[in-house]
Structure 1
């Protein structure tokens, strides 16, 4: 994983010449939730403490930089929290740079680093109760609110909220899957998989998956004579896809799964299929991306949508071939609300080092209160929202249309290889 860059925000190691950054943050405005400014001697002691703890490995401190310009500071240091070894995090962004999402970007880099490099996987933050911005950042970054507290601080008392974020890797030891699909039988198990892509918005004929069962892998492919799946509603997009459920209304109705645009109308009535519809637990796929600018692969469970609001999406992996290089690429993960008014979009792209066209594991651990996302069993993101209905699994290969409507026929077929899909019931 690359834990050091996020867009134009970078983290640079705190150094001996960075006392002026502490002085710059030592204003009544910047210290309003910390008991007010410190004296010059106290700032010098703080600077010395930063450097000493960094030398011993008890803390890691950074400048937050935007295009090489220092805009604040962030760091983490060892603590014990309720008897558990943990890290405590703190941060600041200078007033002229606030409101641009820089603290959030820096915190994302910090959490990625801790998950990738350290054995302590509990991160704790204690923003003041009146620090609305920092408390909101903890909430949107996936921290769990664990109460409040008060302690003596600088001759007075500091009241704070307690936020925790579990960065531990995915642990499946001792858990038994209720689906362990390894595609080793030579045929697709249609008691689990429906080999069509949203056929209600087109037809079963147009949306039939093109696939083969290779040794120990499902291969979905798009070749030269693959036609657009729904030109009426989705232009020149071509798809090869399997899913584990199907629900839609009568022909001519607007009832159907994954209403991806306005004006959709059911073009062919479909049988209802409740094949494999997990609700909570772990959902995992082992798959390989396609490195071509026209291709995209994805694994995204969606609400079965027998009620229109039960339509949220848990995007476990969405990988555009245009964002895959020889040494790494970007993987989209998170929650998309679709038509569920109870959800909000919380989706981002995670940088992964290594060849994404080789097999990697992508997973989500889903509980009633949150979804934790993992790549190669390493934590990458937590979304603290409630998705309380069954979902169906969706495995997709897309060929996305070009503006000039040409196709790179010489590169075809695009082939999406999936080695394994597993689900584990809630423990």
Structure 2
């Protein structure tokens, strides 16, 4: 069900006429007159032409389904854009409004003139309020304003889409991987070896002037074949915590019933709690490969295990124009978190170096690609995380491997963290 946003055009009056039905305006004080609807249509065209607004038609499978847009305003004395939307009833309940608003927030971020987006759905409009929450807006109370001869009480929702600003901020760690050897006081070169063994989960890596190279070779064995099939991985993590052999205590409990098979020393190499985390890395364009940076909770307390996925990129999802990057929050086994993960389209050659980053506070996580805002997840992750850097080779259904394409190499130029600003 493709959802597309198209600039508001002269022939779109009918979209507003259908949106003016009583059931569509119940939270807005009822329908407008025919003259008011036409004036609104003319205003959309006029404001688009002047650049004061960006009003758009929502299409679903090429059929007009509603409207959405943003326009210049101020919020609490600060320059901002305000957003509004309407989706016809026959298209509601299908995720159309959510996808349209997601696309709109990216347009606002790309616009660059203002970094704040606000929305004011009526307090009794449960669907629009839920939509704001799911899109990463933060609730900032309510307000009552004159409206169509009466008053309208609205919730105030705010979304910060400003770019990542590191001006004047100094990293507490700036890892360039340019030393003669891997700093094993900082990095643990095994992939959760407590569920398997150090021998099976050992990374293959090289460091030097070109940065880090994590590698899967033709003779790389599956890391835990009875648990994870023929999945192969080369991986660094910056912490290690697990219990005694036979216990179920260990990081990244990726399936029920896991038992520690090999005791591991506790390792607190590079742990971060809030601030900015940034990785500069390149993807691999091959259908069997995936690269990722996904900090997880150190998990010395079982619930402190959520994942902040800065980037996961499947080689099968790259093309000549760009590709899809997975970002967001995954609860793993943290009952306080909700799944808030999505794939965003990024233009350009993702096999070249790009910066992927998060700005993390106790209240929210903002995600960026090359400094540009792409997502906000409003959740509290208030515990230390460790870095997880890896390249995967996924098994094929027929059991074969593309040995001629090996090695699969994840290239990382740097990883750095900044303390809370």
Common topology (TM > 0.5):
yes
SS state at 2:82 partner: strand
Maintained 8 Å contact 2:146/2:152: yes
Runs of at least 4 residues off by over 2 Å: none
Give the deviation of 1:148 after TM superposition.
Answer: 0.6
* Partner residue of 1:30 out of 5, 24, 34: 24
Query: Could you report, residue by residue, the CA deviation over 1:313-352 in whole angstroms, capped at 9, with x for unpaired residues?
Result: 0000000000011220000000001000000000000100
Pairing 1:372-387 to 2, within 5 Å after superposition: 372-387=366-381
* Partner residue of 1:83 out of 72, 77, 86: 77
**Structure 2: runs of 5+ lacking an equivalent:** none
Maintained 8 Å contact 2:179/2:208: no
Query: Could you report, residue by residue, the CA deviation over 1:237-266 in whole angstroms, capped at 9, with x for unpaired residues?
Result: 000000000000111111110011122111
1:154 aligns with 2:152: no
Maintained 8 Å contact 2:59/2:66: yes
* Partner residue of 1:313 out of 307, 310, 324: 307
Structure 1: how far apart are the matches of 2:191 and 2:318? 25
* Partner residue of 2:275 out of 258, 274, 281: 281
Equivalent residue, structure 1, for 2:358? 364
Equivalent residue, structure 2, for 1:183? 177
1:328 aligns with 2:322: yes
Equivalent residue, structure 1, for 2:393? 399
SS state at 2:136 partner: coil
Equivalent residue, structure 2, for 1:54? 48
Q: TM-score, normalised by structure 1?
A: 0.98
SS state at 1:17 partner: helix
Structure 1: how far apart are the matches of 2:194 and 2:286? 29
Equivalent residue, structure 1, for 2:247? 253
Equivalent residue, structure 2, for 1:232? 226
Structure 2: how far apart are the matches of 1:8 and 1:261? 34
1:13 aligns with 2:13: no
Give the deviation of 1:144 after TM superposition.
Answer: 1.0
Give the deviation of 1:186 after TM superposition.
Answer: 2.1
How many aligned positions are there? 421
Equivalent residue, structure 2, for 1:266? 260
SS state at 1:29 partner: helix
1:113 aligns with 2:107: yes
SS state at 1:351 partner: strand
**Structure 1: runs of 5+ lacking an equivalent:** 1-6
Query: Could you report, residue by residue, the CA deviation over 1:116-145 in whole angstroms, capped at 9, with x for unpaired residues?
Result: 122211001000010000011111111111
Give the deviation of 1:18 after TM superposition.
Answer: 0.8
Structure 1: how far apart are the matches of 2:67 and 2:117? 17
Query: Could you report, residue by residue, the CA deviation over 1:44-73 in whole angstroms, capped at 9, with x for unpaired residues?
Result: 110110011011000111111111011111
Pairing 1:131-150 to 2, within 5 Å after superposition: 131-150=125-144
Give the deviation of 1:193 after TM superposition.
Answer: 0.5
Q: TM-score, normalised by structure 2?
A: 0.99
